[in-house]
Amino acid sequence: MTEYVLSAVGVKGLDARLEAVGLLDPAMEAAGRAVAAELLRRVPAGARPLALLAGPGANGGDALVAARHLLAVGQPVMVLAAVPKHELAQRNLGRLRAVGGKVEELSAPAVTALPPAAAWADGLLGTGLRGPLRGELAEVVEALNTRTAQAQEPVLAIDLPSGLEADRITCPALWVRADWTLALSAYKPVHLFGAAAAACGDLSLDTLALPLAWTARQASAVRPADAELGRVLPHRRADAHKGDAGRVWVIGGSVGLEGAPAMTGVGALRTGAGLVTLHSVAEVPLVTPELMRTRHDSLNDWLAHESARPDALALGMGLGAQAPALARQVLAWKRPSVLDADALQPELSGLGHAGVIWTPHPGEAARMLEVAVSEVTADSLGSAAALQQRYGGVVVLKGGPSVVAWAGGLSVSRGGHPGMASAGMGDTLAGVLAALLAAGLPTEQAAQVGVRLHARAGERAAQRHGYGLGASDVAAELGRAWADLSAPSG
Ligand SMILES: NC(=O)C1=CN([C@@H]2O[C@H](COP(=O)(O)OP(=O)(O)OC[C@H]3O[C@@H](n4cnc5c(N)ncnc54)[C@H](OP(=O)(O)O)[C@@H]3O)[C@@H](O)[C@H]2O)[C@@H](O)CC1
Ligand SMILES: Nc1ncnc2c1ncn2[C@@H]1O[C@H](COP(=O)(O)OP(=O)(O)O)[C@@H](O)[C@H]1O
């Protein structure tokens, strides 16, 4: 199923719509039930009670609903709650008391004094938090962190760890040290990017059975499922010949950077390209005999006089300073193209056409947008959208996770592995994307499925190589990754 990414504003919009039709109460009920189920799933049944903390807003309301559902199945609970400010939190405090739930006043000393707990649920603050934690809630969080660290009691964050902000990917001075997070209705940027994503611990999602179209309308990005992506992968007829399978040109390499285009070529071959030719001024190593290599004295002269055209090309990997001028020439061909590495330059702004995929990592994206790298990473979604608007075509802003931007929207990739942070990984991706373009996939589909294929191959290769993962190891897994997407297990 497609998952969505909501900003704090998107959550508010969704809440307003639910409230208008009387569905906010059922949504909170679904949230609390999901929290209870998550706790029961993660914590082995035992004699110790579960401790739940409820803040003043709807996040606290979720904790109060969860406590009621836990009591209903005979699980003992200890509940500390702030005075509710949200009407539904107030109502659910009443409902909890009505079924015999005991609730004590929330304070830092109360957190410290509570008897041993099997686990804690943090319902102090969710998407409504603004700025650093203040007042009594700051003291409560400090007491909780100290106690749970000392007693080794695990913590489940409801929606997001209190103290983190939904749209921010950095961690402030103080936040709840969560072991697990249950995201509600949709992911927020905090769950997916940067240090904040790591601070969420082991992440799961419950969509609260909300109308998917409503969530989609408020979403800033989609997170497609493997099954959806697998459906767009090209199928080859039984009588296909190599010309049908796509001719890819790889234009890159220079003295000292001869390996980059070779890795792109292997990426294209392993993604099914029928004929892959490497064009370079350098002596590109023959990493596999299936690759064809043509050495040129001047790529500029060659391109100026070349009348043949590939089905798709990838340009820029290890190419050096001449890359933007060469990119201008191939952009004028209006052929499906992947522009990577040295071709990712501000002077090409506005030149992208519908068949182009730009593939910057955050450093290259910063150069293209003429901002600091930290500005790019602070807002991957916004940066990818800005790049797309400025450069045209489709943008893959690479990272863990990567973001794909096209004229109509944004998509966040799943999976991958930190071992993929190694040289040559992006070169391989450029080849994957070029092969999918050469097979005739529409640009935005090629970008989304190609990024996921590469990430899936990385996951597989990491099982064997861990952090010692190399780009060639990933390329070797592309075939099995393709099979995984074509027949996903879940
Ligand atoms: N559609 C969905 O996804 C659904 C989401 N649901 C749930 O709703 C949650 C969002 O609830 P929410 O909007 O009531 O906000 P919430 O996080 O409880 O905080 C509000 C309180 O925080 C306070 N406060 C703010 N900043 C502070 C600070 N720095 N330091 C200290 N206090 C601070 C603020 O105080 P005030 O500024 O008003 O004085 C106010 O009292 C969401 O995360 C999910 O769990 C489900 O129930 C239903 C469907
Ligand atoms: N931590 C990570 N998790 C998942 N994927 C990652 C991670 N780090 C890097 N990658 C992926 O590896 C590739 C690295 O690309 P890039 O930085 O251009 O490498 P290079 O320039 O060395 O070829 C990208 O596709 C990126 O999405």
Tell me the average pLDDT across 213-226.
Answer: 97
User: What is the rounded average pLDDT of the residues 104-132?
Assistant: 98
The residue contributing the CA closest to ligand 1 atom 28 is 133
**Which residue minimizes the CA distance to atom 26 of ligand 2?**
399
Does the pLDDT value for residue 490 go beyond 60?
no
Does the beta carbon of 169 lie inside 6 Å of ligand 2?
no
- Is this complex's ipTM strictly greater than 0.90? yes
Rounded Cα gap, residues 477 and 431, in angstroms: 14
Annotated binding-site residues for AMP read: 398-402, 426
CA of 191 to the centre of ligand 1 (A): 17
262-291: average pLDDT: 96
β-bridge mates for residue 247, sequence order = 275
Beta bridge partners of 50: 77
Residues 457 and 474 sit within 8 Å (Cβ to Cβ): yes
pLDDT at residue 487, rounded to an integer: 85
Please, how many CA atoms are within 13 Å of residue 11, restricted to the half-sphere of its CB? 25
Position 287 scores a pLDDT of 92
Q: What is the pLDDT of residue 243?
A: 78
Distance 238 CA to ligand 1 centre (A): 57
The ligand minimizing its distance to the Cα of 257 is: 2
Nearest to 262 by CA among 309, 312, 303, 318: 318
* Closest approach atom of ligand 1 to CA 166: 43
Q: Please state which CATH class domain 226-486 belongs to.
A: alpha beta
- The CB of 425 under 6 Å from ligand 2? The reply is yes
Binding residues for K(+), as ranges, are: 59, 122, 162
Predicted pLDDT at 262: 97
State the closest ligand 2 atom to the C-alpha of 415, by its place in the atom list counted from 1: 4
Asked if pLDDT for residue 48 goes beyond 80, the answer is yes
Cα–Cα dist 243/363, whole Å: 37
Query: How does pLDDT run across 57-78, given as a tens digit for each residue?
Result: 999 999 999 999 999 999 999 9
Mutation to probe ligand 1, out of 65, 88, 106, 129 (largest number of atoms < 8 A from CB): 129
Instruction: List the residue whose alpha carbon is closest to atom 9 of ligand 2.
Output: 421
Q: What is the pLDDT of residue 245?
A: 83
How many helices (H) and strands (E) the chain has is answered by 20, 18
What is the 55 CA–ligand 1 centroid distance (Å)? 8
How many A from CA of 318 to the centre of ligand 1? 49
Q: How confident is the model over 357-380, as a mean pLDDT?
A: 98
Ligand 2: does its nearest atom lie under 6 Å from the Cβ of 402? Answer: yes
Mean local confidence (pLDDT), 258-273: 97
Ligand 2 within 6 A of CB of 101: no
CA distances from 396 to 339, 347, 406 (A): 10, 18, 9
Q: What is the pLDDT of residue 240?
A: 84
Report pLDDT for 488: 67
Higher-confidence residue of 422 and 325: namely 325
Question: What is the CB < 6 Å shell around ligand 1?
Answer: 11, 14-15, 27-28, 31, 55-62, 85-86, 125-135, 137, 158-159, 184-185
Q: Is the beta carbon of 474 within 6 A of some atom in ligand 2?
A: no
The ligand 2 atom at the shortest distance from the C-alpha of residue 451 is: 25
Evaluate whether 3-223 and 226-486 have a shared fold.
no
Q: How far is CA 153 from CA 102, 103, 114, 300, in A?
A: 21, 20, 12, 64
**Cα separation, 198 vs 471, whole angstroms:** 25
Extract long-range pairs of 379-382: CB within 8 Å, 24+ residues apart: 379/169, 379/189, 380/169, 380/189, 380/193, 381/5, 381/189, 381/220, 381/221, 381/410, 381/412
What integer pLDDT is reported at residue 489 of this predicted model?
A: 62
Residues of each annotated binding site = 58-62, 122, 126-132, 159, 162, 260, 318, 361, 398-402, 426-427
Q: Quickly tell me which residue has 């109509």 as its tokens.
A: 408
C-alpha to C-alpha distances, 257 to 91, 129, 194, 359, 423, nearest whole angstrom: 66, 48, 30, 18, 11
Q: How far is the CA of 426 from the centre of ligand 2 (A)?
A: 6
Q: What is the mean pLDDT of residues 14-30?
A: 97
- pLDDT greater than 70 at residue 118: yes
Question: How many Å lie between the centroid of ligand 2 and the Cα of residue 439?
Answer: 24
Nearest residue by C-alpha to atom 13 in ligand 1: 128
Q: Is residue 134 predicted with pLDDT exceeding 70?
A: yes
- Mean pLDDT, the chain, rounded, equals 96
Name the nearest CA neighbour of 234 among 248, 252, 246: 246
Closest CA to 120 of 151, 91, 82: 151
**Interval 136-166: pLDDT, tens:** 999 999 999 999 999 999 999 999 999 999 9
DSSP state of 163: T
Percentage of the chain modeled with pLDDT above 70: 99
CATH value of 3-223 in 3.40.50.10260, 3.30.420.40, 3.30.920.30, 3.40.50.12160: 3.40.50.10260
Q: Measure 340 CA to ligand 2 centroid, in angstroms.
A: 13
Q: Which of 236-245, 310-319, 328-337 has the lowest mean pLDDT?
A: 236-245
DSSP secondary structure letters along 439-485 = TT--HHHHHHHHHHHHHHHHHHHHHHHGGG--HHHHHHTHHHHHHHH
Residue 267 has pLDDT above 90, yes or no: yes
Residue 24's pLDDT band, with cuts at 50, 70 and 90, is very high
Task: State yes or no: pLDDT of 238 exceeds 90.
Answer: no
User: Domain spans of the chain?
Assistant: 3-223, 226-486
Ligand 1 center–CA 129 separation, angstroms = 6
